[in-house]
Amino acid sequence: MSEEMNINEQDSQEYVVFTVTAQDGSEVEMAVVDEFDYDGKHYAAASRVVGDEISDDGVYIYRTKLTTDDFTVEKITDAKEYDAVVKAYTEME
């Protein structure tokens, strides 16, 4: 997935969906399944959208930046930050 992606916010049932660009250049539709704050930053947990369903093959964690009308997701590239955020997320469940 690309390092920074702008979201085209849409409602798909009760989920907010956005598109990211995979490393191979294809576009992947994602649905936000959870949002949370950790260490003063905002994060979103998202799963792939396959057809009209949300895939249960895994959750991807992105750092988010909120704006007035929209938000942007960023791939977490720092391994220590990623590990800490994933640990915090799994402990919340």
pTM (predicted TM-score):
0.78
pLDDT digits (tens, 9 = 90+) for 3-50: 444 444 444 357 888 988 888 999 999 999 999 999 999 999 999 999
pLDDT digits (tens, 9 = 90+) for 41-69: 999 999 999 988 899 888 999 999 988 88
Strands 60-66 and 53-54: unpaired
Q: How many CA atoms lie within 13 A of 53 on its CB side?
A: 3
Under the banding of pLDDT at 50, 70 and 90, the label for residue 1 is: very low
* Residue 30: predicted pLDDT: 94
